[in-house]
Amino acid sequence: MLPGHLRLRNFGPVKSGDIVFGALTIFVGPQATGKSLTLQLVKLLADIGAVHN
């Protein structure tokens, strides 16, 4: 299960960010601003139980 809120600090190109997840959360922005890296982190958090096992 994903958190309802994610706070990022100095994560790749993202200096600071707060994400509040809703029923539909869309990442929009220019290239090379950390969208894909952040989505990979969200995927890791979603799969952490399987990764741990």
* Domain residue spans of the chain: 5-52
Q: Report the distance separating Cα 48 and Cα 29, nearest Å.
A: 27
pLDDT of residue 30: 95
> Closest by alpha carbon to 41, among 29, 30, 28, 51?
51
pLDDT digits (tens, 9 = 90+) for 8-46: 999 999 999 999 999 899 999 999 999 999 999 989 888
What pTM did the predictor assign? 0.77
pLDDT at 2: 57
